[in-house]
Structure 1
Amino acid sequence: MKNFNEDDEINENELKNLIMMNYTLSLEREIEKLKNDAKKNNEKLNEGQELNKKILQFIYGLFHELKTPLNVIFSASQVMSLCTEYKNGGTLEKQSQYLKIIKQNCYRLMRLINNLQDLSKLDSGFAKLELHNRNIVSFVEDITLSLIPYAKGKGINLIFDTNEEEKIMALDYNKIERIILNLLSNAIKFTPEKGTICIGVEDKDDNVYISVKDTGIGIPEDKFKFIFEKFKQCDKSPINGKAGSGIGLYLVKCFAEMHGGKVSVKSAVGQGSTFTVKLPVKVIEEKFNKMIYSENMDEQLSIEFSDICPKI
Structure 2
Amino acid sequence: MLDFASLFRPLAERSQLLYFVYHVEAREVVYVSAAYDTIVQHPRETVNQDLPALLARLHPDDQTYAAARLTHLLQGKFVEDVELRLMPSPGRAGRPQWLCFTVGRVEQAPGQTYLSGTVQDITQTREYIDNADRFNKKKNTTLEILSHDLAGPFIMIKQVAGYLGERIESLQDAQLSELLQSVQTTCQDSVNLIRDFVDNEFMESSSVRVKLERVNLSPSLHEIVQELQKSEGGLGKHFSFTGPAACYLHLDHNKFMQVVNNLLSNSIKFTPDSGHIQVALQDLGHEVLITIKDTGIGIPQQMQPVLFERFTPARRPGLRGEKTTGLGMSIIKAIVELHRGRIWFESAEDDGTTFFIALPRLEPEK
Q: Which residue of structure 2 aligns with residue 247 of structure 1?
A: 327
Matches within 5 A, 1:156-305: 156-162=237-243, 164-234=244-314, 236-237=316-317, 239-284=319-364
**How far 1:236 moved relative to its partner?**
3.4
**How far 1:239 moved relative to its partner?**
2.0
Maintained 8 Å contact 1:223/1:234? yes
3-state SS, counterpart of residue 332 of structure 2: helix
* Equivalent residue letter for 2:197: M
Structure 1 stretches lacking a partner, 5+ long: 1-101, 122-126, 287-312
Give the TM-score normalised by the residue count of structure 2.
0.45
Q: Which residue of structure 1 aligns with residue 214 of structure 2?
A: 133
Q: Which residue of structure 1 aligns with residue 223 of structure 2?
A: 142
Work out the CA distance in 1 between the residues paired with 2:195 and 2:224. Answer: 20
3-state SS, counterpart of residue 165 of structure 1: coil
Maintained 8 Å contact 1:134/1:168? yes
Per the alignment, do residues 149 and 258 of structure 1 end up closer, same or farther by CA in structure 2, a change over 3 Å counting? same
3-state SS, counterpart of residue 316 of structure 2: coil
* Equivalent residue letter for 1:184: L
Taking CA–CA contacts closer than 8 Å with sequence separation of 6 or more, which of the two structures ends up with the larger relative contact order? Answer: 1
Per the alignment, do residues 235 and 107 of structure 1 end up closer, same or farther by CA in structure 2, a change over 3 Å counting? closer
Any idea what the Cα deviations from partners look like across 1:205-255, whole Å, max 9, x if unmatched?
Answer: 411111100000011122111101111143634621234110111111011
Rg larger in structure: 1
Work out the CA distance in 1 between the residues paired with 2:231 and 2:328. Answer: 19
Work out the CA distance in 1 between the residues paired with 2:212 and 2:238. Answer: 32
Cα RMSD (Å): 2.7
Give the TM-score normalised by the residue count of structure 1.
0.52
Higher helix content, 1 or 2:
1
Work out the CA distance in 2 between the residues paired with 1:108 and 1:242. Answer: 7
Work out the CA distance in 1 between the residues paired with 2:228 and 2:313. Answer: 24
3-state SS, counterpart of residue 209 of structure 1: strand
Work out the CA distance in 1 between the residues paired with 2:301 and 2:238. Answer: 26
Maintained 8 Å contact 2:192/2:323? no
Q: Residue 111 in 1 paired to residue 198 in 2?
A: yes
Work out the CA distance in 2 between the residues paired with 1:245 and 1:112. Answer: 8
Higher strand content, 1 or 2:
2
**How far 1:106 moved relative to its partner?**
6.7
Any idea what the Cα deviations from partners look like across 1:177-207, whole Å, max 9, x if unmatched?
Answer: 1110000000000000110000000111411
Matches within 5 A, 1:49-60: none
Q: Which residue of structure 2 aligns with residue 66 of structure 1?
A: none
**How far 1:153 moved relative to its partner?**
1.2
Identity across aligned pairs (percent)? 30
